[in-house]
Structures are given as C-alpha cells and as structure tokens.
C-alpha cells in the first residue's frame, strides 16, 4: 500500500522545519554544554525535536478523534462540548429551520 504524495509532503515539510529549527537552536545553545562536541548537541536537539513533533502529532490526532466522536454522537459543535448547554439561541434557530423545512414546497 503506497501513501499518496500530498500526504507525504504535508508530513515532511513540518518535520523538516522542526528539525531545522532544533538544529539552529542546538548551534546557538552549544555554548551551554562546552564539553560536548557540536555533533552530539545537534543530535540531541534533533532527537528532542522529533520527540516533540511526535507528541504534538499524537495530541492532534487524539483531539481530532474526540471531536469526531462528539459530532457522531449528535454534538452541535465540539467546542461547546465542555459546556452544559448549547450556544445561546441555537435551539430557536433549529426550531425556525425545522418550521421553514416543514412549510417549504416540495
């Protein structure tokens, strides 16, 4: 099974940017550990960036899965999931839309 090219491109660009920023930070922060060789500082910063990228990716997938669950179970908007009621005025808008649908010619 092959992965479509746009999916790979969409994943590689942020990953490359994250690693390059980590390398830049590693070079700038190499003075913090003067006894370590530069290649080890760069390696550690790149590994840290990859770990951070993986953590953010997993968190984004978890949040997206939660939002999809809320929508599948009848939630109006995932952002309102944390509140005890729907947004103000939504029930009235829903009733109005239902009345318009009932009176519309078929």
Q: Give this prediction's pTM.
A: 0.58
* DSSP one-letter code for 35: T
Determine the angle formed by the axes of helices 38-72 and 5-28, rounding to 10 degrees: 140
Residue pLDDT, tens place only, 28-78: 888 888 888 888 888 888 888 889 888 988 999 999 898 888 778 777 777
Whether residue 50 contacts residue 16, with contact meaning beta carbons closer than 8 Å, is answered with no
Q: Closest Cα to residue 15, out of 52, 44, 45?
A: 52
HSE, side-chain direction, 13 A CA sphere, residue 75: 16
């Amino acid at each position: 099974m092959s992965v479509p090219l746009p999916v790979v491109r969409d994943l590689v660009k942020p990953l490359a940017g994250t690693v390059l920023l980590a390398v830049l930070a590693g070079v700038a922060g190499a003075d913090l550990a003067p006894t370590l060789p530069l290649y080890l500082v760069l390696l550690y910063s790149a590994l840290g960036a990859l770990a951070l990228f993986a953590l953010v990716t997993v968190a984004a997938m978890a949040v997206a899965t939660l939002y999809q669950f809320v929508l599948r179970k009848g939630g109006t908007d995932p952002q309102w999931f944390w509140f005890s009621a729907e947004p103000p005025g939504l029930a009235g808008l829903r009733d109005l839309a239902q009345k318009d649908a009932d009176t519309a010619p078929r």
